[in-house]
Structure 1
Amino acid sequence: MDRKRVTGPEHSVPPLFKTAAIRKPILNEKNRRLDNRNADDLRPIFLKTGLVTQANGSTYIEMGNTKVVCAVYGPRQLKRVGFSPHGTLNCEFKFSTFSCTKRRGHMRDAQEREFSHTLIQALTPAVRLELIPKSAVDIYVNVLENDGTNASLAAAIIAASVALADAGIEMLDQVTACSNIFSGDSILMDGTMAEENQQDGSLMLSYMPSLNEVTHILQSGKLESDNISQAMEQCIDGCSKIYNVMSSALLESLH
């Protein structure tokens, strides 16, 4: 008997193959979605500052079942680095291990590193880094519950922008973000995870309402140019609505 050989079981069982899931329509006969929203409706938003007392600025945001917390530390002086006339933004985006349907790892994966870089690109145009030379601002974003990947990224940008303002970092304008998904001929704002599973493409836009400037666009899927233009207009309208919520949360933190 070969002791180095791993013997298989005496009886074998045929593998079970999953049948292809039937694609259900996202909109019903009354043009309502699964959560009874219209195609261009956003989920209810709850925004609160001052959650992390040890941080210079922090924010907690809920958009439906999407829950994100953000903490900002700094500005802190960089050591052992040559002089730089501009400060730097450091960002760490992380999904909690229990936030998704499939358990995430403790170490950051490729998607989380990409989202960290996206956050820096979306927020840098709004932060006056020339006022904090040779300094760094650290942003930590943790997704507690993920009900839509693009929606979680948009919520992270909103939370990070409010946390920067809460920390007293001087900015040109607040950065809002909004996402939508494409399913057939329909454009759905602020898609949930169930809707993302049936999407043909998606778009996430970051926007500064007061300056009327777009800071970042993230698109996936094969889309028509007319649909992209319509989706961008809807995202800008959604960002304007979210901007009022962000301003109200910052005003409440002052009282």
Structure 2
Amino acid sequence: MDRKRVTGPELSVQPLFKNSTVPTKDLLNEKNRRRDDRTVDDLRPIFMKTGLVTQANGSTYIEMGNTKVVCAVYGPRQLKKVGFSPHGTLNCEFKFATFSCAKRRGHMRDAQEREFSHTLIQALTPAVRLELIPKSAVDIYINVLENDGTNACLAAAIIASSVALADAGIEMLDQVTACSAVFSKDSILMDGTNVEEKQQDGSLVLSYMPSLNQVTHILQSGRLETDNISKAMEQCIDGCSKIYSVMSSALLESLN
């Protein structure tokens, strides 16, 4: 027997590869239903749990369909080598796991991940009361475990970060929710999947504070009509209001 040779298992399963060549006409069927039997306005089922990262001050795990994101918050911690500042700072690190996408990601952060990190800071800063933590910093770490739509991952990261900040005891004016939309021909598909994003003409990610009725950030791509953008913003705000109840329930469960 050759001890240097690693023999494979007797029974094996053929790996499944995602089909990225789906024609546009298959995004909606005759009944105006999407591939996962949702209507154009439906969001994917959401599961959210806090406190899974025990070493962090606050943490959240969220699933939106096949999109899976975990967030950990550390701080506030005092900045020693920086001059006095009347306001605290938010630091964010957004990272796709190497196995999260159909094409393997690198270990080092790329330009897209750095852009998403900056977007998260812009979306969350209006809600966090940084004036109460002078000369301090709060670190947010987001790791995407499974990517089923890049815009959906960004929206899930904003939601998870907001809940993790509240779980860490960071005082906020309001929770920040987020919702994404995909433009495909004449349709606006809410919470688009990876297959739908490959056929998109444009996209929109909106961050919103429901209690204060204020939009904190908008990220839009593609050449779109103004009427379509306004309609998508209204639908995203409605979606954020639905997600807000899930966030509140997750925080109440952590208190019990």
TM over 0.5: yes
1:114-173 CA deviation, whole Å, 9 max, x = no partner?
Answer: 000000000000000000000000000000000000000000000000000000000000
Change (3 A) 1:194 1:22: closer
Task: Give the C-alpha shift of residue 21 in structure 1.
Answer: 7.1
Q: Find the counterpart in structure 1 of residue 16 from structure 2.
A: none
Q: Report the equivalent of 2:54.
A: 53
Higher Cα radius of gyration: 1
Q: Please name the residue that 2:232 is paired with.
A: 231
Counterparts of 1:45-84 in structure 2, within 5 Å, are 45-84=46-85
1:186 aligns with 2:187: yes
Alpha-carbon distance between aligned partners in 2 of 1:81 and 1:195, rounded to the nearest angstrom: 46
Q: Distance in 2 between matches of 1:86 and 1:231?
A: 34
Residue 26 of structure 1, CA deviation: 1.1
1:208 aligns with 209
**Number of aligned residues:** 236
Alpha-carbon shift at residue 24 of structure 1 (Å) = 3.2
Tell me the CA shift for residue 238 of structure 1: 0.1
Question: How much is the aligned-residue C-alpha RMSD, in angstroms?
Answer: 0.9
- Structure 2: unaligned runs, 5 residues or longer: 1-20
Tell me the equivalent position of 1:152: 153
**Contact 2:22/2:195 (8 A) holds in 1:** no
* Structure 1 unaligned spans of 5+: 1-19
For 1:100 and 1:143, how far apart are their aligned partners in 2?
Answer: 9
After TM superposition, give the deviation of residue 22 of structure 1 in Å.
Answer: 4.6
Measure, in 2, the Cα distance between the counterparts of 1:149 and 1:118: 13
Instruction: Report matched runs for 1:1-255 at 5 Å.
Output: 22-255=23-256
Distance 2:207 2:229 in 1: 15
Structure 2 length-normalised TM = 0.91
SS in 1 for 2:27: coil
Letter in 2 for 1:196: E
TM-score (norm 1): 0.91
| Displacement of 1:23 | 3.6
Q: Is the 8 A contact 2:97 2:105 kept in 1?
A: yes
- SS in structure 1 at match of 2:212: coil
**Segments ≥4 residues shifted beyond 3 Å:** 20-25
Q: Which residue does 1:10 correspond to in 2?
A: none
